[in-house]
Structure 1
């Protein structure tokens, strides 16, 4: 209600004095200047009907210029919900679970980011271009049949649908949304094409033609194939395909570079290593591995240091698989392997390209490294690299996060120019005898143009009688240790490696300067020999703009309602990326461990001591009872063979003294006619005087030594020699409580401030 020049106090007086409007109560004095809100005690708050009588009373009052009865309106919270008519949408667990358990695409979709303008092509065995869930997004300019040399990429049909692979991969990227058919793609607004190139002889020329198809139109090439994942093959692109990679990243997309997304391989069962695959091992490809529904390493996954990130895919029996389009216009819920992971990654990259079409191929890799999430992925080899990022051989930098990539892409500043420097290790000729290791070191004092690392290649020439017996480790100057090659049980080749480039992305962001250490383990029974080692370092002369920002990026929790901040693997807040699944931390940044080792808890050692002590303590209790019981039985056994009444004496076998009802250790049970141990084991052994005194005087070394001396004397006097082993239990227990006390001190704020 608007008043006619009435002040607030005057209006209140008018309400009290005027009979005509005294029926109203002033609820909120002012909405705007001269606008007031009144309530009527006789009208229901939830009334939606107009009250004509009261409106008339206000209308005839000359002091009221305008009035309107307020009614309740329906308002809906704009939380992140997605309704989709595609029948398989509820089964797409890897996109719709929320709570940090999916790839976070829904927030990007709700902001209108669906991959519009991006073009993805699937290099595979063909594409069913007229599939009802693909036809709307099909792009003929991104398609070709290299096997039959025509523009139609349709697959060859047979009885077993052996050429369904490409159609399945395409549906993951760009299946149409909300058309009541099958499912929807990660980038359902993008254009998708297919290249039929695997349904025939795959030559170097076939690969080169596929990788170089229409590079000014196609943004992303997705490949879910490679050399045989049999655990014994070492192979990569030939000369023509290598040229296609280089031409693509230098000239494709008008100089911004084609983006090659590659599946890391399915040779896990055969202990294959994707560093023996020259396609995933290339610096030009974005190598993608898989994670199961429950965040585990899949049985088929290959672990290697060239994997950049992961997406969800199939797992063990009982874990769900990937939903997508299938051959013969159908739909499937059983797409599997890293073949399903690479297209999901390609779709996520398409979302980032819509947010920023100017991203280069290297920008995309930088964004993936910074936004991938290690949380909820369980692997035994997580470590923190030299700049605080979490990385694993099985998952790379973690699970790809679509929304975080979109957010970071929007204001992304192109990374500085890539530089390359090669350092050759002198005097490398070294034999590697059976069951031995050779350690080589290389000092890097200058590396022109490379101050901040991206990719690292160790090019090795090794002759081996059995190649699969080799295990190769590389440690960077900042302490990041990677496995360039793990054992391959099926690899019996005598060829070895000839200048093979083992690649690592684990040192991303580190400095190249210092000592690089190479360890070559020969765990077999045959001779090996290393003859050459070249270190090729790729990086930039200055840090990317994303690393120069001064503000700290706080890691938000992933819930159904997503915050504005970006959930990332940023070096700005390494503590936010700490792992929950037993990660190996290579570089500690906590305040407590900066105190030169004084009064700090060595967790691993204490847990080991505690476990051993607990086992010994349990054994001590068991031994205590068994020894006493055994001695007692031996002292009275002669009476058990006599059928007459007898006097039962409880005699300690060591001292041979009569303890009948005179010692708290033994007593005679006349009802059962046997001796019993009455010592309170827990009270006497664990909570003995030594332990209680130690808790009160842990800081006094003199008291501690005196207590220990008297304790040992007492135990030697009272117990037989077998009980000496229990001393280890007491000593270890003292050590543990001493360490725990120190650990508690370290956690106190005042102590941490002093320590730092």
Structure 2
């Protein structure tokens, strides 16, 4: 009994420590009256001011509170908010934030088979910078921009990371102290902390990709070797909402581009994003930064591919304010670490498998490395290209930049199985976004660019009424959009979803636009065992960019769990876009006719062709009477592994079915060779023959159930018997004492 109690207590304490969030010794507070009044107010209660986050919002620390504790400092908090001029205060929680590279070991990098050196660069690693010099549409087309005199001059980029080796000989020329700060040590020197493992090399590596000097006979060449580069040291210590907000809002009238190669843990089970202060920093940045044109935030999409993570569960890459960048390997493949999600806008090159080259850049101790990796390496390359584009036209807004990326990105040579053509004829992929960034085309388009019309926002709420999604099935909910608050041409689309599930990782969510573009908002995550579900989580997609919002939107929730139903309680669509299209000189193709709610993701530019198909270039938009459309082609009968969803449209069966009459796994009509068709409660499943043999073995099944019942029965008898025996002994002893006491009293 004692052992059981001790075990239970240990388990309880362990669970509390696991679930507890660490509180830091820092606060954020809104204190009116200016800095001097804020200083006097806070010092009275033992706080010191670390810095100002926004006007009248301060980052504080208490001298006598533990730097990390599972218990909040309630006493100090109450004293602080008791002051009349303190309008709001919040003790800061310590956040888990991970750099988006992975550990590699030094190796001999092979030179690319071919490189073009039109600029005559003398930097020793230049011949091996395959991602900049391969030519033939096999690089990011940077040299064309250089030839036109564009080097990033006048653009200011800062790297939000673990520090910057500002005296590195390949960085010192372009180092900008006004774009730098040390949030960890609270001074203006962003130099990293050195240790034996060089754990703080990440920021210096990212900086070299952007702005390493050219033609200095040292190391590598930055994409924007004429740009100014700074660094914010903020990851080498406890990261809080206030630390992130101060970093994201550092000197926004001087810094143009913020590059971040980190985020919540890429472990396949985390759902996390910016807090209240960081969210405000993003909003202040896009509305007030760069003189009102908007700060440009570039984010690495994530390295959780091996853990089956999904970057739409990362609130930084999933935000409309960030330009989310994915990676492609040297050979154009999806890297093993890459996360596929609908919020990814575009791609740059990075590392891949062992036989593929990696990224060359500056390293700690004034060194050079050929082993920079992950989406960590992709985001700074994108920042460098954006810096070139801003030199070509410094009047571009943050939304202009996203439009230019979408219009110029190249899907050529990028190998993914999920490329589709959206409703305006653009190829898009969950792995690569709209494709590989093209520096020269971005620069050329920027020169003639006219600012896009003002952004409008349209919110439409669906009447869900707690829709149940049974296990091993899916449910589709429709939402008709007739008018949309001046949003006629889409940019970002959000689906704010609330749902509960016994296991969050079993849920898959698809969104289909009226033009037929199907976007996966959430793929199943094998590591995610959480029971918490989602609470108004804003899943974002860029796949409908340029489409119109009008018509029927379809949200499909797949529950791949084996036992319990999921429950969707709320669904709201948020459409971001414009009332008018961008200027026709750089606009999307003009649409003639696109059928609403057709096949997933196969709409494109419309035209008329004689015969059974209305076509764009190669894909059907609509079929003649009597034909069905599937995968952009017209057919008299729906192919094997599809079913006729409604007149003229074929849709895919569940992957376990060979033939079916519906999309769910219980609507199979025939099976693959290694499975048998099994009927259960009026539903037909395809079970593997090995599994079916076990299910059909009634003797084994019955025996197992009987033995289980017997064990439970014996356990109950044992527990109850022990309980009553113990109570009877105590009762007898009590009666014996009472009898003796009575005898003594009487005699």
On whether the aligned pair clears a TM of 0.5, the verdict is yes
Q: Does 1:221 align with 2:258?
A: yes
- The 3 A distance-change label for structure 1 pair 573 and 295 is farther
Offset, 1:571: 3.1
Q: Which residue of 1 aligns with 2:429?
A: 392
Offset, 1:421: 1.1
User: Contact 1:80–1:110 (CA<8 Å) still a contact in 2?
Assistant: no
SS of the residue corresponding to residue 553 of structure 2 reads strand
Question: Which among 267, 286, 309 is matched to residue 346 of structure 2?
Answer: 309
User: Contact 1:440–1:517 (CA<8 Å) still a contact in 2?
Assistant: yes
In structure 2, C-alpha distance between the alignment counterparts of 1:110 and 1:587, rounded to whole Å: 35
Q: Which residue of 1 aligns with 2:567?
A: 529
Offset, 1:426: 1.5
Offset, 1:527: 2.2
User: Contact 2:628–2:635 (CA<8 Å) still a contact in 1?
Assistant: no
User: Contact 2:511–2:521 (CA<8 Å) still a contact in 1?
Assistant: yes
SS of the residue corresponding to residue 246 of structure 1 reads helix
Deviations 1:209-264 (A, max 9, x none): 00000000000000000000000000000000000000000000010000000000
More helix by share: 1
Q: Which residue of 2 aligns with 1:334?
A: 371
In structure 2, C-alpha distance between the alignment counterparts of 1:386 and 1:584, rounded to whole Å: 7
Offset, 1:82: 1.9
Deviations 1:149-181 (A, max 9, x none): 000000000000000000000000000000000
Offset, 1:604: 9.6
Q: Does 1:571 align with 2:588?
A: yes
User: Contact 2:517–2:601 (CA<8 Å) still a contact in 1?
Assistant: no
Q: Which residue of 2 aligns with 1:349?
A: 386
Offset, 1:572: 3.0
Q: Which residue of 2 aligns with 1:482?
A: 519
Q: Which residue of 2 aligns with 1:200?
A: 237
Offset, 1:585: 3.6
Q: Which residue of 1 aligns with 2:19?
A: none
Offset, 1:605: 9.2
- The 3 A distance-change label for structure 1 pair 600 and 441 is closer
Q: Which residue of 1 aligns with 2:268?
A: 231
Q: Which residue of 2 aligns with 1:655?
A: none
SS of the residue corresponding to residue 86 of structure 1 reads coil
SS of the residue corresponding to residue 369 of structure 1 reads helix
Deviations 1:487-532 (A, max 9, x none): 0000000000000000000000000111110000001122211100
TM-score of the superposed pair, with normalisation by structure 1: 0.65
Deviations 1:305-356 (A, max 9, x none): 0000000000111001000000110000010000000000000000000000
Deviations 1:399-421 (A, max 9, x none): 00000000000011011110101
Question: Which among 596, 600, 613 is matched to residue 624 of structure 2?
Answer: 596
Deviations 1:612-662 (A, max 9, x none): 9xxxxxxxxxxxxxxxxxxxxxxxxxxxxxxxxxxxxxxxxxxxxxxxxxx
In structure 2, C-alpha distance between the alignment counterparts of 1:462 and 1:539, rounded to whole Å: 27
- The 3 A distance-change label for structure 1 pair 588 and 448 is closer
Deviations 1:99-139 (A, max 9, x none): 00000000100111000000000000000000000000000
Question: Which among 514, 519, 544 is matched to residue 556 of structure 2?
Answer: 519
TM-score of the superposed pair, with normalisation by structure 2: 0.65
- The 3 A distance-change label for structure 1 pair 293 and 435 is same
- The 3 A distance-change label for structure 1 pair 241 and 602 is closer
Offset, 1:427: 3.6
Deviations 1:529-568 (A, max 9, x none): 11000101100111111xx23xxx8xxxxxxxxxxxxxxx
- The 3 A distance-change label for structure 1 pair 573 and 159 is farther
In structure 1, C-alpha distance between the alignment counterparts of 2:343 and 2:236, rounded to whole Å: 28
User: Contact 1:425–1:534 (CA<8 Å) still a contact in 2?
Assistant: yes
SS of the residue corresponding to residue 420 of structure 1 reads strand
User: Contact 1:464–1:527 (CA<8 Å) still a contact in 2?
Assistant: yes
Deviations 1:677-718 (A, max 9, x none): xxxxxxxxxxxxxxxxxxxxxxxxxxxxxxxxxxxxxxxxxx
Q: Which residue of 1 aligns with 2:506?
A: 469
Q: Does 1:443 align with 2:480?
A: yes
Offset, 1:428: 3.2
Question: Which among 362, 376, 385 is matched to residue 413 of structure 2?
Answer: 376
- The 3 A distance-change label for structure 1 pair 603 and 146 is closer
SS of the residue corresponding to residue 537 of structure 1 reads strand
User: Contact 1:381–1:584 (CA<8 Å) still a contact in 2?
Assistant: no
- The 3 A distance-change label for structure 1 pair 216 and 601 is closer
**Aligned-residue CA RMSD (Å):** 2.4
In structure 2, C-alpha distance between the alignment counterparts of 1:249 and 1:606, rounded to whole Å: 45
SS of the residue corresponding to residue 478 of structure 1 reads coil
**Structure 2 unaligned blocks of 5 or more:** 1-115, 592-599, 615-622, 641-747
Considering only CA atoms, is the larger Rg found in Structure 1 or Structure 2?
1
User: Contact 1:479–1:587 (CA<8 Å) still a contact in 2?
Assistant: no
